[in-house]
């Protein structure tokens, strides 16, 4: 792929996205002090991620449009882009546009965008331990859905039911051994068998819930590990851009209903 009119005065228009990243009253994080340079047929984007708090992590991505407003999908981005980016100055993204399978026009619009992640992706050890302690807990850490915790309720409920039937079966068996009446002994033994079988059914159910939960958690963890994490979707955003034709700056305000 070649870049049309490959020179330092390419009309590369850099838009700054000033996103409302947190809905809890803090000053919105901002993409600031952005700059574009060409270096060895690579586009180097430098930016600051300001107004962030300690421990916060962000999902950073680059949105590129041609002069007609058509969105391009860059694949060869490296540097401080993607998940788990923390705030700071002089952050760098490198776009190796020569490797793309589309042609880049001289007039393109580049936007650096950021979204606050609700949480950093948990470690596998933490997720697995949570799943062993309480089925569904590890899945809820991955997807942030509390409905998975119903698995734990079902698992511990099965353990409790198994114990109740086991206790009853022991008492019934003791009565069976103490009885001297044949008809009573037969009835007690039948009752003991039913209670013991129910205890085994609930025990197997509990074990199955734990096993399915651990396998499901492991598969989901590794399938989702490299995907963008859940983020806060702001209702509004304020941005700055440069019009490709008039070359005049413009402020963008968007509100999502």
In the chain, where are the structural domains located? Answer: 12-121+229-255, 124-224
Q: What is the pLDDT of residue 105?
A: 67
Write down the mean pLDDT value for the chain: 78
Closest CA to 86 of 115, 52, 45: 52
| CA–CA gap between residue 219 and residue 26 (Å, rounded) | 36
pTM for this model (two decimals): 0.48
Q: Counting beta carbons within 10 angstroms of the beta carbon of residue 136, is it exposed (0 to 12), middle (13 to 18) or buried (19 or more)? A: buried
Please give the share of the chain, as a percent, with pLDDT higher than 90.
35
Q: Is 155 helix (H, G, I), strand (E, B) or coil?
A: helix
Over residues 96-129, the pLDDT tens digits come to 888 888 777 667 788 888 888 765 567 889 999 9
Q: What is the pLDDT of residue 25?
A: 42
What secondary structure does DSSP assign to 88-136, as a single string? EEEEEEEE-GGGSSSPBPSSEEEEEEEEEBSSPPPPHHHHHHHHHHSTT
Q: What is the DSSP letter of 55?
A: T
Q: Is 29 helix (H, G, I), strand (E, B) or coil?
A: coil
Torsion angle, CA of 33/38/43/49, rounded to 10 degrees?
A: -10
Q: Is 90 exceeded by the pLDDT of residue 144?
A: no
Residue whose token pair is 């980016």: 85
Q: What is the pLDDT of residue 189?
A: 93
Please name the helix (run of DSSP H) or strand (run of DSSP E) that holds residue 160, with its range, or none: helix 149-178
Q: Is 80 exceeded by the pLDDT of residue 229?
A: no
């Amino acid at each position: 792929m070649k870049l049309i009119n490959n020179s330092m005065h390419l009309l590369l228009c850099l838009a700054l996205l000033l996103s409302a990243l947190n809905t809890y009253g803090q000053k919105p994080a901002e993409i600031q002090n952005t700059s574009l340079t060409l270096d060895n047929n690579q586009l180097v984007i430098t930016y600051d991620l300001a107004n962030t708090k300690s421990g916060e992590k962000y999902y950073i991505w680059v949105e590129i449009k041609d002069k007609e407003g058509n969105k391009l999908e860059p694949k060869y981005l490296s540097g401080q882009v993607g998940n788990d980016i923390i705030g700071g100055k002089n952050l760098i993204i490198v776009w190796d546009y020569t490797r793309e399978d589309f042609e880049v026009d001289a007039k393109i619009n580049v936007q650096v965008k950021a979204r606050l992640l609700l949480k950093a992706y948990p470690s596998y050890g933490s997720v697995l331990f949570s799943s062993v302690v309480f089925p569904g807990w590890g899945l809820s850490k991955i997807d942030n859905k509390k409905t998975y915790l119903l698995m734990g309720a079902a698992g511990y409920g099965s353990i409790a039911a198994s114990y109740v039937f086991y206790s009853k079966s022991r008492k019934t068996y003791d009565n069976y051994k103490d009885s001297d009446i044949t008809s009573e002994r037969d009835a007690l033994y039948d009752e003991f068998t039913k209670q013991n079988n129910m205890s085994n059914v609930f025990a197997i159910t509990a074990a199955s819930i734990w096993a399915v939960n651990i396998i499901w958690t492991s598969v989901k963890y590794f399938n989702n590990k490299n995907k963008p994490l859940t983020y806060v979707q702001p209702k509004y955003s304020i941005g700055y851009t440069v019009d490709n034709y008039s070359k005049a700056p413009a402020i963008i305000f968007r509100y999502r209903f």
